[in-house]
């Protein structure tokens, strides 16, 4: 079968650094082809060259048997190539329909024909089974609906090849399942799909073929039917992954005690409704739930980022409900926030400045209002090695790091505090499988050494793998609790959807 697309011996150099070296890739019509690899493996650079956002140092692109060259994304779009970026490029105050048709608007006399635009979007939505509310403003749409809007936008532009960059990074488990169904349906309609990802179970479920990159080079390319997740992981990281660390049972003392915690939302509907639970030393308590059911508000109320309207938060028996974020940290709390950009980092500050946050008041690293950055350098370099943080320099702006590498820096910083209690919210969001292994080992080690960990993750596999106890949140309440031995993905999914354990099969 002739290829729809070939990328032959693609090389991209930045000075002496090779982001891609002699990379070849092919795509058939109606095929889903996954491109996988760790952070910094060269996946996104390869696709940016295909989409005209970067110019190759060497190599050629062949589309429908003809050599082509794209100077910019508009060139790629004209040739039927569309890209949905990891961070969506939508205008929040415009409707879904307006975002989809922008640049190709149905107009009359220079004026947008809104009803025609809405009708065109609704027709496209039905044709490809991608539901969106055409007249809803993007600012009020879920992340899943925003992504569906992005996909419809590239379809509206006439894309036959669709590039999806880390498409499930911000989706709930339900939305992930719906997206994978959409991808398979688009392929059945003759569209060719490229998925950039590091989530191997999604590759095994949705892709026909897979190409693995490591260090900017291809380490393997094969049919998904001819491989498995373990073999792909080894190709990604260059070694077999370790088994999960041991989990000795521990009878710890309560460290965090949350009692009847409440937060009121707009219109009087509670965001948190009398939530009570305990986290003991020597255990990891996981919180599962579909996004928007109170997990974010719970973490913000416990950490001090959001005031509560009722209830108490105790750390080692001390009431910290009215204390500041800093005071809670001094009482033994560290926090890996769920949004690394909003809460976890200063994008315009240097890598070393972001690493120093929280340490700058310690006498070992400061003196008379001056920070002793040289004294902190050995600590930072150790984190960079341990977590494989890829940065050109510690002076580089945090904004220039990939999302995964910034996440690893924040995780290293918060674990480095060595506090007795850690909130870990989406700790592996956007990181590769090798870094995920390191982070999981670090969390288990903290637990084994007597630390208390409150884990929130949208990845049920992560919750099940790490937690000693699991709480499920639904509409601002704790809907149920399961211990490690009795928890299954089916039981958790049932509770997350508002059902009961009696409705799940034993």
Measured from the Cβ of residue 60, the count of other Cβ atoms closer than 10 Å reads 13
Instruction: Please give the sequence-ordered ranges of beta strands (E in DSSP) within 5-87, or none if there are none.
Output: 5-14, 17-27, 32-36, 58-63, 66-68, 81-84
Distances (CA, A) of 155 to 69, 79, 82, 97, 506: 22, 13, 8, 13, 43
* pLDDT (tens digit per residue) in 413-454: 999 998 999 999 999 887 878 788 889 989 999 999 999 999
Rounded to an integer, what distance in angstroms lies between the CA atom of residue 84 and that of residue 170? 13
pLDDT of residue 499: 78
Q: Is 199 helix (H, G, I), strand (E, B) or coil?
A: coil
Q: How far apart are CA 124 and CA 482, in angstroms?
A: 43
What is the CATH number assigned to the segment(s) 5-237? 3.40.50.300
What is the predicted pLDDT for the residue at 502?
64
Contact predicate 338/456, CB 8 Å: yes
* Higher pLDDT pick, 344 / 369: 344
Strand runs (DSSP E) across 198-323, as ranges?
209-214, 217-223, 254-264, 270-280, 283-288, 310-315, 318-319
Residues 6+ apart with CB under 8 A from 208: 31, 32, 33, 187, 223, 224
Q: What is the mean pLDDT of the segment spanning 370-380?
A: 80
Q: What is the mean pLDDT of the chain?
A: 88
Over residues 472-492, the pLDDT tens digits come to 999 999 999 998 888 888 888
* Model pLDDT for residues 98-108, shown as the tens digit of each residue: 999 988 777 77
* Residue given tokens 């370790």 in the structure block: 242
**Tokens read off for 180:** 């994978």
What are the phi and psi torsion angles at 466 (to 5°)?
-105, -25
- The candidate with the shortest Cα–Cα distance to 31, out of 4, 50, 10, is 4
Nearest to 178 by CA among 198, 151, 153, 157: 151
204-220 tens-digit pLDDT: 999 999 999 988 999 99
Given a cut of 70, is residue 346 above it in pLDDT? yes
pLDDT digits (tens, 9 = 90+) for 129-156: 999 999 999 988 888 889 999 999 999 9
Comparing 61-65, 355-359, 450-454, the range with the smallest average pLDDT is: 355-359
How many CB atoms lie under 10 A from the CB of residue 291? 17
| Torsion of the alpha carbons at 385, 387, 388 and 390, rounded to the nearest 10 | -110
pLDDT at 82 over 60: yes
DSSP for residue 470: E
Tell me which residue has tokens 């070939």: 6
Considering the domain delimited by 257-339+385-503, tell me its CATH architecture: 3-Layer(aba) Sandwich (3.40)
Contact in structure between 244 and 229 (CB atoms under 8 Å): no
Q: pLDDT-derived band of residue 267, with 50, 70 and 90 as boundaries?
A: confident
pLDDT digits (tens, 9 = 90+) for 282-338: 999 999 987 778 999 999 999 999 999 999 999 999 999 999 999 999 999 999 998
Percent of the chain with pLDDT over 70: 96
Res. 504: pLDDT tops 80? no
Is residue 506 pLDDT above 50, yes or no?
Answer: no
Rounded Cα distance, 506 and 499, in Å: 14
The C-alpha atoms of residue 139 and residue 92 are separated, in whole angstroms, by 4
Residue 183: pLDDT band (50, 70, 90) is very high
Residues 150, 128: Cα–Cα separation, whole Å: 13
Q: pLDDT per residue over 453-473, tens digit each?
A: 999 998 888 899 899 999 999
Q: In angstroms, rounded to a whole number, what is the distance separating the alpha carbons of residues 478 and 470?
A: 10
Q: Is the pLDDT of residue 164 over 90?
A: yes
Element (H, E) at 254: strand 254-264
Provide the pLDDT for residue 1: 61
pLDDT at 73 over 80: yes
Closest CA to 260 of 244, 252, 271, 272: 272
- Residue 278's DSSP bridge partners are 257
| End-to-end alpha carbon distance in the chain | 47
Residue 69 is predicted with a pLDDT of 92
| Per-residue pLDDT at 319 | 96
CA–CA separation, 170 vs 90, rounded Å? Answer: 15
DSSP for 342-389 reads III--TTSBHHHHHHTTTTTSTTTEETTEE-HHHHHHHHHHHHHHTT-
Copy the structure tokens of residue 428: 């592996």
Task: List, by residue range, all CATH 3.40.50.300 domains of the chain.
Answer: 5-237, 257-339+385-503
Token readout for 254 is 């309560």
Strand duo 283-288 + 254-264: pairing: unpaired
Q: Interhelix angle for 403-416 vs 433-448, to 10°?
A: 10
Cα atoms in the Cβ-side hemisphere of radius 13 Å centred on 264:
5
**pLDDT band (50, 70, 90) for residue 198:** confident
Residue 412 has pLDDT above 70, yes or no: yes
Cβ pair 34, 211 in contact under 8 A: yes
Task: Provide the pLDDT confidence category of residue 259 given band limits of 50, 70 and 90.
Answer: very high
Rounded to an integer, the average pLDDT of 331-358 is: 89
Looking at residues 246-265, what average pLDDT do you find? 87
* Tokens linked to 231: 């073999």
């Amino acid at each position: 079968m002739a290829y729809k697309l070939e990328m032959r011996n693609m090389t991209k150099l930045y000075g002496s650094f090779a982001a891609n070296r002699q990379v070849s890739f092919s795509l058939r019509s109606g095929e889903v082809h996954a491109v996988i690899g760790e952070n910094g493996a060269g996946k996104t650079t390869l696709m940016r060259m295909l989409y005209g956002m970067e110019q190759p140092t060497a190599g050629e692109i062949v589309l429908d048997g003809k050599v082509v060259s794209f100077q910019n994304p508009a060139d790629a779009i004209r040739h039927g190539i569309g890209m949905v970026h990891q961070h969506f490029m939508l205008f929040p105050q415009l409707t879904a329909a307006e975002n989809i048709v922008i640049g190709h608007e149905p107009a009359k006399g220079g004026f947008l024909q809104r009803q025609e635009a809405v009708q065109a979007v609704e027709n496209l939505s039905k044709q490809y089974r991608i539901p969106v509310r055409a007249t809803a403003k993007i600012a009020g749409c879920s992340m899943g609906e925003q992504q569906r809007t992005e996909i419809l936008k590239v379809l509206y532009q006439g894309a036959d090849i669709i590039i999806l960059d880390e498409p499930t990074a911000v989706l709930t488990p339900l939305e992930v399942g719906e997206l994978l169904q959409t991808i398979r349906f688009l392929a059945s309609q003759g569209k060719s799909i490229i998925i950039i990802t590091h989530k191997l179970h999604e590759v095994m479920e949705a892709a026909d073929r897979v190409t693995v990159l490591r260090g900017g080079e291809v380490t393997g390319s094969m049919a998904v039917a001819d491989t498995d997740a373990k073999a792909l992981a080894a190709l990604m990281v260059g070694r077999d992954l370790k088994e999960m660390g041991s989990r000795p049972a521990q009878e710890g003392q309560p460290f965090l005690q949350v009692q009847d915690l409440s937060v009121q939302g707009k219109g009087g509907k509670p965001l948190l409704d009398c939530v009570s639970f305990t986290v003991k030393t020597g255990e990891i308590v996981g919180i599962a739930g579909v996004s928007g059911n109170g997990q974010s508000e719970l973490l913000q109320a416990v950490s001090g980022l959001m005031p509560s309207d009722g209830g108490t938060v105790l750390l080692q028996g001390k009431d910290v409900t009215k204390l500041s974020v800093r005071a809670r940290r001094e009482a033994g709390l560290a926090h890996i926030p769920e949004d690394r950009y909003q809460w976890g980092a200063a994008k315009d500050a240097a890598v070393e400045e972001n690493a120093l946050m929280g340490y700058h008041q310690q006498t070992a690293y400061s003196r008379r209002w001056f920070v002793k950055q040289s004294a902190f350098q050995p600590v930072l370099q150790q984190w960079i090695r341990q977590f494989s943080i890829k940065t050109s320099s510690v002076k580089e702006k945090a904004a220039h790091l990939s999302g995964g590498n910034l996440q690893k820096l924040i995780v290293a910083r918060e674990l480095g505090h060595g506090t007795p209690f850690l909130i870990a919210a989406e700790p592996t969001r956007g990181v590769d499988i090798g870094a995920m292994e390191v982070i999981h080992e670090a969390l288990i080690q903290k637990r084994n050494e007597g630390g208390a960990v409150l884990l929130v993750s949208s990845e049920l596999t992560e919750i099940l793998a790490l937690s000693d106890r699991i709480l499920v949140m639904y509409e601002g309440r704790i809907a149920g609790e399961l211990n490690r031995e009795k928890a299954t993905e089916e039981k958790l999914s049932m509770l997350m959807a508002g059902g009961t354990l009696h409705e799940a099969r034993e």
